[in-house]
Chains A and B, each alone.
Chain A
Amino acid sequence: MTPSSTATPVRRRRRRLSLGRALVYLGLLVAVVLTLIPFVWMLLGSVKTQPELIRRPPTWLPETFTWDNFTAWFTRLDFGTFFFNSVVVALFTVLGTLVFCSLVGYALAKLDFPGKRTLFGLVLVTLMIPGVVTFIPLFVVVSKLGLVSTYPALILPFLAGPLGVFLMRQFMQEIPDALIEAARIDGASELRIFARVVMPLCGPALATLAILTFLGSWNNFLWPLVVAQTADMYTLPVALSLYSVGQNATNYGVLLAGSVLIIVPVLLLFVLLQRYFIQGIAVTGIK
């Protein structure tokens, strides 16, 4: 009895700690599983046949394993073209957004000129206007410019969004004026200060903006659908809708296989930029 009584308090404390931990881990595990289930379902579903996909009760593991849904994307359908279009559009939208939004953001944050407050106010106002309100006028402008069914039509309207300008301006305002003044005294031009002093300090904000813009562009459906009037200009989401969702019936296998193909690049990007992603979320949290 006696030896064990001296050992008990220690063991009990350990046990209590590990029980708490176990509960936390259990909670986290449940959350992870809940988050992953739709993805696992999508992955498994993409190699099932249509009858199996709509059967009840649903099956988890495919009974008849098939690559048909994937081969459809690469043989019957022109996956390469759609993927290329999506990449071109996303790439130029992201690059353009980073350049233009930070230029405007810098001007609004650090330069003094008449009407600056009004301009910033205008940016905030456009932030409040839902995109759908300007959808048709924007399309009319694009068609009057003769840009329908071109890459510029898919890219230009998203190059300097008010959210990006706002985000960059808010972040740049935190950069000490002393740094910029020191560069100015050293004789650096305004553009040089922007490129060499300010931009290198904006890493987290730029990463946030890049990720938000990329996801927005990659998943955009309605604008590419309307503005691409030939099939060779379609992006992945438009192609996904075209080939899997009919008027009255849905080809679930092709839909899920296409979803897997669309999500893979996003996942890769996330893995590569994970560090910035988390920093970025912290940045947006700070305001």
Chain B
Amino acid sequence: MKSRITAVAAVAAATALVLSGCGRSDTAGSQDGPAELTDGPATGTVTIWAQGTEGEALQEFVKPFEEANPDVTVEVTPVPWDSALNKYQTAVAGGTTPDIGMIGTDWMPGLVSSLQPTPDAIDTSDIFPYAVGTTEFDGVRHGVPWYVETRLIFHRTDLMEEAGFDEFPADWDGFKELAEAYKANGAEYAVALPAGGWNGFLGNLPFMWSNGADIVSEDGSEWTFDTPEIVEGLEYVKGFFDEGLADANPDTENSSNAANFVDGSVPMFLSGPWDVPGIADAGGAGFEDKFDVAPIPASPDGTSTSFAAGANLVVFDSAENPDAAWKLIQWLTQPEVQVEWFQTVNALPSQQSAWDDPVLSEDPKVAAFGDQLESVKTAPNFSNWSEVSAAADTYVEQIMRGGKDPAEAMAELQAEADSMGTGE
């Protein structure tokens, strides 16, 4: 029996070869220019792949679209999140893609060469700018952001009050004091922070961003890992490990954050909107009143900035019915439809005006995510980001677990990243 992890890795590698070998050249996509949308209703069959709960609920959800366009049939295939990227990559290699795919923002650089540019008729001006940015390559949009997400600090309000805090602090010093107070009040650790491993750097990046840092220069031509802002951010995070406020060897299983949070042993962690219902569920009846979400604390010179991601709806080059596909995407990303979609699967709308709807604005835990989304950054849209990210992860581990000096580590990372380039 072959190991699945090796299998997945090898498939990814093989696909990368296939994609770069036989795929069209980088400029081909933009050469054709975006297609013009026809007037009149959508017709024919549109196939769409969607992952997870989205995939389960979408077939039922698109009924109004089918009623408004009597000659169209939408065929939804739910796809497991596990190995979904493999499925898209092999479909591209075999020329058997659906018309529409649901592509995680971090998969965009690897798949963009097989995606169609967005027609000019589709307006994305009201969508969160960072989200539109994840679809843009060489200034050309490829797809439309469907849902957005960002990370906030989940914290136990009941234990916070016991520890003597009425309000969640917004700055670095206050956050550290709160952590110390949680621990003094009996928590085993105050906050769950990544000490290394996959995306260990990205997981701590919000603290550096909230110190005014950036990992890429403004024009995207070079990495900026060795800046004082990054180093200070890492020193701040390192303090939590050095003082025993964060566990340097945490249980990385998905459910451990929830378990530690519910039993109070680690009363703070960073997570996304999916954990609001997830934690309420894990804690049982009444638990939703015992926790809240708060923005990332900022340094004295910075602004609270968190990490954002999400998924885009894209149309593949090999789509058989692109016209109807874009019309379906246009419908799915309307603000009113997005509000309904939020009520169906809890996916946060990419259209900013949808957030004015009372369904979102009157739920404080949801609205908090909307506020943070005003100030977010995302992983760079470079094809070699995953390699640079992996290199950064090993340095985070050396700093947090091994006690390495952040300035020294970042100087080494800078040299390593420079040799890889920015993939632009």
Task: List residues of chain A with CB under 8 Å of any chain B CB.
Answer: 50-51, 53-56, 130-133, 135-136, 139-140, 142-144, 148, 216, 219, 221-222, 225-226, 229-231, 238, 241-243, 245-250, 252
* A136 vs B20: C-alpha distance when bound (angstroms): 14
**Is there contact, CB below 8 Å, between A135 and B14?**
yes
Contact of A51 among B10, B81, B282 (CB under 8 A): B282
Q: A216-B1, A245-B82 are in contact. Are A51 and B255 (CB under 8 A)?
A: no
**Is there contact, CB below 8 Å, between B275 and A242?**
no
Whole-angstrom distance between the Cβ of A259 and the nearest chain B Cβ = 14
**Is B15 an interface residue when CB atoms closer than 8 A count as contact?**
yes
B199-207, B213-221, B257-265, B359-367: which one contacts chain A? B257-265
**Is there contact, CB below 8 Å, between A132 and B11?**
yes
Q: A51-B281, A132-B6 are in contact. Are A222 and B11 (CB under 8 A)?
A: yes
Give the number of residue pairs across the A-B interface with Cβ within 8 Å: 121
**Is B75 an interface residue when CB atoms closer than 8 A count as contact?**
yes
* A229 vs B87: C-alpha distance when bound (angstroms): 9
* A136 vs B382: C-alpha distance when bound (angstroms): 24
Q: A56-B260, A241-B82 are in contact. Are A132 and B2 (CB under 8 A)?
A: yes
Chain A, residue nearest B18 (CB): A136
A-B contact pairs, 28 of them (CB 8 A): A50-B281, A50-B282, A51-B282, A53-B255, A55-B259, A55-B282, A56-B259, A56-B260, A56-B265, A130-B6, A132-B6, A140-B93, A140-B94, A143-B95, A148-B94, A148-B96, A219-B1, A222-B86, A229-B49, A229-B96, A229-B98, A230-B75, A242-B55, A245-B80, A246-B53, A246-B81, A247-B51, A249-B275
**Is there contact, CB below 8 Å, between B7 and A222?**
yes
* A245 vs B91: C-alpha distance when bound (angstroms): 22
Residues of A within 8 A of B83 (CB): 221-222, 225, 241
**Is there contact, CB below 8 Å, between B4 and A221?**
yes
* A54 vs B283: C-alpha distance when bound (angstroms): 10
Q: Binary interface profile of B, 155-174, with partner A (CB < 8 Å = 1, else 0)? A: 00000000000000000000
* A249 vs B255: C-alpha distance when bound (angstroms): 8
CB interface residues, B 245-277, toward A, < 8 Å: 254-255, 258-260, 262-263, 265, 271-272, 274-275
**Is there contact, CB below 8 Å, between B86 and A225?**
yes
Residues of A within 8 A of B2 (CB): 130-132
**Is there contact, CB below 8 Å, between A222 and B78?**
no
**Is B46 an interface residue when CB atoms closer than 8 A count as contact?**
no
Residues of B within 8 A of A148 (CB): 94, 96
Chain B, residue nearest A58 (CB): B259
Residues of B within 8 A of A54 (CB): 255, 258-259, 262, 282
Chain B, residue nearest A53 (CB): B255
**Is B33 an interface residue when CB atoms closer than 8 A count as contact?**
no
Residue among B4, B56, B282 with most chain A CB within 10 A: B282
Chain A, residue nearest B95 (CB): A143
**Is there contact, CB below 8 Å, between B90 and A131?**
no
**Is there contact, CB below 8 Å, between B91 and A225?**
no
Residues of A within 8 A of B6 (CB): 130, 132
* A230 vs B91: C-alpha distance when bound (angstroms): 13
Given contacts A55-B259, A55-B262, 7 further A-B contacts (CB under 8 A): A50-B282, A132-B7, A136-B94, A245-B80, A246-B52, A248-B254, A249-B254
Residues of B within 8 A of A231 (CB): 77-78
Residues of B within 8 A of A132 (CB): 2, 6-7, 10-11, 14
Chain A, residue nearest B260 (CB): A56
**Is there contact, CB below 8 Å, between A246 and B1?**
no
Residues of A within 8 A of B52 (CB): 242, 246-247
Q: Binary interface profile of B, 81-118, with partner A (CB < 8 Å = 1, else 0)? A: 11100110011011110100000100000000000000
Residues of B within 8 A of A247 (CB): 51-52, 81, 104, 274
Chain B, residue nearest A130 (CB): B2
Residues of A within 8 A of B1 (CB): 216, 219
Residues of A within 8 A of B75 (CB): 230
**Is B8 an interface residue when CB atoms closer than 8 A count as contact?**
yes
* A173 vs B4: C-alpha distance when bound (angstroms): 34
Chain A, residue nearest B15 (CB): A136
**Is there contact, CB below 8 Å, between B90 and A136?**
yes
Whole-angstrom distance between the Cβ of B186 and the nearest chain A Cβ = 16
Residues of B within 8 A of A246 (CB): 52-53, 81, 274
Q: Binary interface profile of B, 1-44, with partner A (CB < 8 Å = 1, else 0)? A: 11010111011001100100000000000000000000000000
Chain A, residue nearest B7 (CB): A132
**Is B284 an interface residue when CB atoms closer than 8 A count as contact?**
yes
Residues of B within 8 A of A242 (CB): 52, 55, 78-80
* A53 vs B282: C-alpha distance when bound (angstroms): 9
**Is B278 an interface residue when CB atoms closer than 8 A count as contact?**
yes
Residues of A within 8 A of B53 (CB): 246
Chain B, residue nearest A76 (CB): B56
Residues of B within 8 A of A225 (CB): 80, 83, 86-87
